[in-house]
Amino acid sequence: AQIEIEKLEEEEKICTKRLQELNEQIQHLNEEIARLEVQINALRAEKERIEDERNRQQQLLDQQEDILEKQNEELQDLQDKIHAYEEQLENLVEEQEKLEKAKQELEARIHELNRQIQHLEQEIKETQAKIQQLQQEIDRLQQEIERIEEDLQKTLHDIQRVEQEIRQAREKFSQLERQQETLKIEIDRIEDL
């Protein structure tokens, strides 16, 4: 029985020791649990903080994406406008080139017309000089014609006067012939006596 008691006491000691070890392990585990709970709480707080930061950053990202989308739309609109302006500018450049070419053609035409005008003005001056010269010649010829007409009238008058004198002379000659014939007849008659 003594052996049995000793054995039981030994087992009790072993159990007590084991219990003490288990209590120490439990205490250690409780400490570890407490430490882990603190760490978990810290991690949860950090997680919550990170989630809040994530949500804030997500909101900021959403805002930035909205801004970026608007900016992209504005950029696309500006690019479209730039493209339209470039096309307009290209058209304006082409139109300017056409206008410049037309201007050069007009300037060349104006230069040619000015040259022709100067040539025509010179011809007009020469023609006016010729007209003046011809008018002077016409005036001279008109004066000559008037003088000749005066001479002609005078000559015609002289001719008429001479013709009148011729008629008068013929009449006088006829009268003398008649008188001569009468005298001859009278002489013959006297001689016959």
**Could you tell me which residue, 76 or 186, shows the higher pLDDT?**
76
Whether residue 178 is predicted with pLDDT greater than 90 in this model: the reply is no
pTM (predicted TM-score): 0.39
pLDDT tens digit sequence for 41-83: 888 888 888 888 888 888 988 898 899 899 899 999 999 999 9
| Residue that has been written with the tokens 């709480």 in this structure | 41
What is the pLDDT at residue 113?
A: 94
What is the pLDDT at residue 22?
A: 84
**Could you tell me which residue, 8 or 124, shows the higher pLDDT?**
124
What is the pLDDT at residue 60?
A: 87
Helix ranges, the chain (H): 2-192
pLDDT tens digit sequence for 9-18: 787 788 888 8
What is the pLDDT at residue 191?
A: 77
pLDDT tens digit sequence for 82-133: 999 998 988 988 888 999 999 999 999 999 999 999 999 999 999 999 999 9
pLDDT confidence band for 33 (50 / 70 / 90): confident
Domain range summary for the chain, segments of one domain joined by +: 2-179
- Report how far residue 112's alpha carbon sits from residue 118's, in angstroms, rounded to the nearest whole number: 10
Q: Give, rounded to a whole angstrom, the gap between the first and last alpha carbons of the chain.
A: 266
What is the pLDDT at residue 193?
A: 65
| Residue that has been written with the tokens 């307009």 in this structure | 88
The 8-class DSSP code of residue 193 comes to -
pLDDT tens digit sequence for 125-156: 999 999 999 999 999 999 999 999 999 899 98
Q: Is the dihedral of CA 80, 86, 92, 98 positive or negative?
A: negative
Angle at 95 between CA 90 and CA 99, to 5 degrees: 150
DSSP-derived secondary structure for 50-101: HHHHHHHHHHHHHHHHHHHHHHHHHHHHHHHHHHHHHHHHHHHHHHHHHHHH
